[in-house]
Amino acid sequence: MRSFLYAIVAALAAGCGCPEMHEAAAPAAPDAPEGEGLLDITVADWATIEPSGSHAWALSMKLVAFGRADAMTPMDSASPTVAGPRLVLRRGGVDEWFEPSARGVEQGFTVHQPPSGHGELRLEVGISGLSPVLAGDEVLLRDERGRVRASYTDMHAHDAQGRELPCRLAVTGGRIALLVDDAGAAYPLIVDPRWSNAR
């Protein structure tokens, strides 16, 4: 997979200091055709990624629910704020954030308190524009012709003491589910998957 490599450019609302839109562009890989690999990201309540200067495809994503299998809570709408290199959407007890990385677009989550209920910690990411399909330990995002445009992969989770936590990806009802075994974990937790673009 060729990773997203991007630099955030913040367009701030006049007079209020609030971020309205953040765009990102990824330089093409050395062996890519001219223009390939350039991507724009716009973050509002939903984050949308699409090829720069093209409408060949677009992927929108948002944390839509949080909890455990027997006690899921819908997430509130949010507006992005800037926190260092991150764009942060504060959704109740969970911060959804985006950060540039050499590994790709980091869409991470900071979970401040354990939710009620039984079983694994569960974060559900809504997807629009592409269809998620589980393939081993990653999720492939396919367009209407079945072409893989992006993937959700390389998921990690750790607690406040730096302990790595068992975690996995799943697909259910058109959503990507991030599942974490938080038994004995010290909160807050960081759940950190990665977006990559097409193969």
3-class DSSP state for residue 102? Answer: coil
Q: What is the mean pLDDT of the chain?
A: 80
67: nearest Cα among 89, 92, 90: 92
Q: How many C-beta neighbours within 10 Å does residue 136 have?
A: 8
Kindly report, residue by residue over 14-63, the tens digit of the pLDDT: 223 434 333 333 333 333 333 445 567 788 899 988 877 777 889 999 99
Domain ranges of the chain: 7-51, 61-197
Give the per-residue pLDDT at 39: 67
Kindly report, residue by residue over 56-85, the tens digit of the pLDDT: 889 999 999 999 999 999 998 999 999 888
Give the per-residue pLDDT at 123: 98
- Asked if pLDDT for residue 3 goes beyond 50, the answer is no
Rounded to whole angstroms, the Cα distance separating 189 from 182 reads 9
Question: How far from 59 is each of 62, 91, 129, CA to CA, in Å?
Answer: 10, 21, 5
- Asked if pLDDT for residue 169 goes beyond 50, the answer is yes
Token digits for 100?
Answer: 């540039």
Q: Span 106-122, mean pLDDT? A: 94
DSSP summary character for residue 76: P
Q: Span 139-144, mean pLDDT? A: 95
